[in-house]
Chain A
Amino acid sequence: MQRYILRRLLLMIPTLLGVSFVVFVIVRAVPGDVVDLIAGDFGAADPATKDAIRKEFGLEGNIISQYIRWLGDIVQFDLGKSLISGRTVTSELSNRLPVTFQLGLMAIFFSLLIAVPIGIISAIRQDTWADFVGRSFAIGLLAAPGFWLAILLISMAGRYFTWGVPPTTYVEFTDNPIGNLKLMLVPSLILGGGLSGSVMRFTRSTMLETLRQDYIRTAWSKGLQERVIIVRHAMRNALIPVVTVVGLQLPILVGGTVIIESVYSIPGMGRYYIAAIDSKDYPVIQGINIIVATVVVFSNLGVDLLYSVIDPRIRYS
């Protein structure tokens, strides 16, 4: 097991290097020069100004030398400084990552809370009204775009039930748990609802498949109670592929937070990312991508390791 983990950790290095290089090149390949943007429209064509800016922000030299310089900083956990604000990316992300992390965790929690029971009930009551209603509900959540739902809910709250308007400003959970949840609950429900559709569909199909296994038939023939068969024998096996799906949803979740954080004014990483892309803030874009890539490769490893916890038959060597 330890060797397996070590091997996976080593394999992450080329993956992250590849991601970092691709991102580094792509952000610079986008038409337009960040120096023009920093210079603004007053002095856009003044070469002296541009050179001064390029020098000030370390953008001189070819792309390879810039990449090597940046990589050298990264291995020292220095993600660089924002070209726009001058603040360090590391300090910005250290404030914003926990916010996005909380939102993501709550979204996954709500996703599972909605998807797993509905998926299981739909499977064990296949083709009944409960199945139809449950599936329709989950598909409905999948079909409704999160940003649309968010704006609709906020607009309706402002007009018809002002108690439902989220707080104006974000507070940390540790400072004010109720104030924090007042802001985070609805966006995480919207995000979780969006994710729950596919998880529900997957849970239902794997549950149906599991319920048709011989050992389940044996359990029925032994006269075991339905609750015992479902919870102890079927569900545990059926959830293994579901864990994979949830793991694969993490990058999608990061994408979802980008919009929802802006709508609900949550000071997370997604909002920071949007602003960085808008202003071609290379260090921020690169920093966030490398963080997201790291989270994704580690979560994939975590998901793989979780298999062995859920199903003791799985062993890594």
Chain B
Amino acid sequence: MTGSAAALAKRETGIIGLDRMTGGGLPAAGGALILGRPAAGKTVLTLQLVAMALARGQAAIFVSFEESREQLLRNAAAFDWGRQLNDDANFALIDARPGAGAQIAGEFDLEGLLAAVGHCVERTGAEWVIFDGIDQLLRRHRDPLLAADQVHLLSSWCEERGLTLLLTGKLDHSELAPRHLDGVEFLLSTVLVLSTRLVASRLARRFRIAKYRGSAHTTDEVPMLIDAAGVHFPYSDETDPAPSSPAPVERISTGVDRLDEVLGGGLYRGSTTLISGKPGTAKTTLCGSFAAAAAARGEKVLFLSFDELQAPVTRNLATVGVDLNAPIRDGLVSFHAREAWSSLLEEHYFAIRRAVDQERPHCVVVDPASALFKVPGGEAAKVTVERLLSAFRKRGITTILTSLGSQDDPVSEATLSHASTLADTWLVLGFNVTAGERNRSISVVKSRGSSHSNQVRELMLSGDGIDLADVYEYGSEVLMGTARLQKQNEETFAGRLKALADAQRKRELEHQIQLSEAEAERLRLELAAQEQERATREAISDRYQLEVLQRRHSATLRSDRSSTGADPKTQRKSQK
């Protein structure tokens, strides 16, 4: 029992999710009403509460108004805790079914029942009292108000004695008012409502705390599961450890060296990676490679495969050099195949969480996580995936999710778009179709905390393993496959032709240079000769002019002497 004198005293139920939603359990003294339609799980829940109380050494009285002792014990035996109810001195099971053909002749009360229960409480020291299906008796009241008064009396009786009283009642079409017990929901401080609905023809159970006076509590309607272990509240049962701080900086391999290089050394431990792509783009192959690499490091891997069985997955991986059979045999890889359509979303969630708790893996693969969107109740898949990722992250698990896109969906990469916002790394696989050939491609859309190329690369699968091809850019395209090889050859050939042409051209130019240089030399010689000729010609011309002048002068002197009779030698000196 928990709580202080001032606070409402509570009694733990032992069902983690229920204790969490009720803030510590049900009232330690007084009544709680559990309402629900048939098959909602009212009796199972109360029997489980009794079994868990007995397991803790507490005592309980179970009064059944609908089923016989044998029926109840037989039903309980279908659960793991069923044996707890057999031959336990702390347990009294009272068959209080009204006799067949019982008639009514006026008002009645439950004083006799309380006398019997009081006797059993005294004998066993019980803390729990359960009245299952009491409406079967109280509905015989002519006046419904009398039935409600009887319930109030029971609650007060238990409260005075410090007993936790659980009453189950049936719901009709109303949300809260129990059938045959009108108004009783107002008299009790705690009302729990179990409901059922059909989701894609599958029965889905829901739980809600409609009322819990004096106590903080979860008001949400949450899924409730019933399996061999009994009642579970899958989204409330789990206890997650505090996330590790600081974030790990260790890199772990994807199993593909070239991909590790592209990612800056591999994936961060504890990170989440989303691999999206259409069918056949090698998502599962990359998952297998990652799992095999983790196993090779001695780490445990939980491989959750939706819609594909272990044998074909491992066979297909073997064809590309990835061996998962050995690590599965060694217990390092735990392969869980699940059929998406076969369970409700909360059942898948619960199974995955339970597998994680059992296996305690270092790495988890969910392939494809997008399968959760097609399960019954898949509208809540988004939240479910987020819950899983959050749980894995807190446990330091390195996670790879795959998202299967549709061939017809051009934006198929966005199938798990919300998960991509949570993922640390997002790899997109696709096909590159050129020249009638389809080749796989891979690109890193994001990788938090890592410098990475945004280049689309070719993802190559062969018997030797998985590899990425070097980027081959051709204009604005990245060529892959045969087109890449063909283009590489064409480029090489064209390069060689160009080199030959360049050499030829060079030789031609060098030859022309030689010719030109020879011509220039010839012209220089010609010029020099011309210059020499010109100088000679000018010298001759000068001499000729001088001679002409001399002759003219001589003629002039002769003429003068003939006219004056002066000495010609003297006249030549004066002319100079």
**Binding between chains A and B:** no
- Which positions in B face A, CB cutoff 8 Å? none
- Which positions in A face B, CB cutoff 8 Å? none
